Chain A
Amino acid sequence: KQEVTQIPAALSVPEGENLVLNCSFTDSAIYNLQWFRQDPGKGLTSLLLIQSSQREQTSGRLNASLDKSSGRSTLYIAASQPGDSATYLCAVRLAGGGNKLTFGTGTQLKVEL
């Protein structure tokens, strides 16, 4: 059974700092990996989708990397802002496992002024 772990569970940083969120998964036979943002009381907003054949994806201040063989992904946030405060979730789709996503428990990020 695929298990997804995110470290750290919570993180508090001062505004302007660069930071890295970690995601690891036990079954490397994935189709793709997706990073989401969740604000309190809200649904999930997709940030980046990395296909299994890709090494990284970038969107603005966000960069996600994927090392499928080692079962790891990182989300790098540059020059963090208070508006980045949210819970960040990573999720994987297994190859041949249908379209369902297996999620980690998330990293709760707080960016302080």
Chain B
Amino acid sequence: QVQLVQSGAEVKKPGASVKVSCQASGYTFVNYGIMWVRQTPGQGLEWMGWISSYNLKTNYAQKFQDRVTMTTDTSTRTSYMELRSLTSDDTAVYYCARSYGDYGSYWGQGTLVTVSS
């Protein structure tokens, strides 16, 4: 069955970076991309961007354009989302999801990132 397994919770200081991983299984990896979405405390969902597993092209939300990088290692079927220059506003649960770039058909369990001094 399709599974996306994300890395564990992280605690970071303001100004630091975080890199979250998402390992996929149960489907032909290169046929789909991975989108990243976050949920901030008390807020809804926010789309961060998408990476194609086929040609590794990325599309980022303008809000995160300057400080996010999404990469994929097709040999390990793992995608990564790195967010830099963290502030307390980046405290959130970060999700990956299998996607053609439109909607997420299967999602990871989420990774809590806490930014605190």
Q: Are A and B interaction partners?
A: no
Interface residues in chain A, defined as those with a beta carbon under 8 Å from any beta carbon in chain B = none
